[in-house]
Amino acid sequence: DTEVTQTPKHLVMGMTNKKSLKCEQHMGHRAMYWYKQKAKKPPELMFVYSYEKLSINESVPSRFSPECPNSSLLNLHLHALQPEDSALYLCASKLTGLSYEQYFGPGTRLTVT
């Protein structure tokens, strides 16, 4: 199984809502990522988990809260978002170490109204 799954595919939420994005992989990867991607831009790193511990937080606003409940799951909790947070949110995973590629999920297309 070489797949990273993400749910939901699309999400529309108001600025006062609370929602969560989910990501799952069963490849035994112990590094998991959240990226934000705006149109015509490269993926922008938000968070990295390594062995279920948060290892990188790229100064992301606290309205985004990541969680790694176990080695296969990664969540991104969203609260009080702004319209400028509308983007494609990508999850990725890889084996730990410098020499391994990332496997990306299909993403969640988020619209904040």
Partner 1 sequence: GQQVMQIPQYQHVQEGEDFTTYCNSSTTLSNIQWYKQRPGGHPVFLIQLVKSGEVKKQKRLTFQFGEAKKNSSLHITATQTTDVGTYFCAGPLEKGGSEKLVFGKGTKLTVNP
**Residue owning tokens 């990501």:** 23
Identity of the residue, 15 or 54, whose beta carbon is nearer to partner 1 in the bound complex = 54
Q: How far is CA 2 from CA 49, 94, 113, in A?
A: 19, 10, 34
> How many Å apart are CA 97 and CA 30, to the nearest integer?
10
Residue from 1, 10, 53, 101 in contact with partner 1 (CB under 8 A): 101
Residue from 5, 55, 57, 111 in contact with partner 1 (CB under 8 A): 55
- Using CB under 8 A as the binding rule, whether residue 13 contacts partner 1 is answered as no
Q: How far is CA 44 from CA 27, 97, 113, in A?
A: 23, 20, 22
Residues 75-94 that bind partner 1 (CB under 8 A): 88, 90, 92, 94
Residue range at the interface with partner 1 (CB under 8 A); choices 14-22, 43-51, 64-72, 79-87 = 43-51
- Using CB under 8 A as the binding rule, whether residue 71 contacts partner 1 is answered as no
- The DSSP H or E segment spanning 90 is strand 87-94
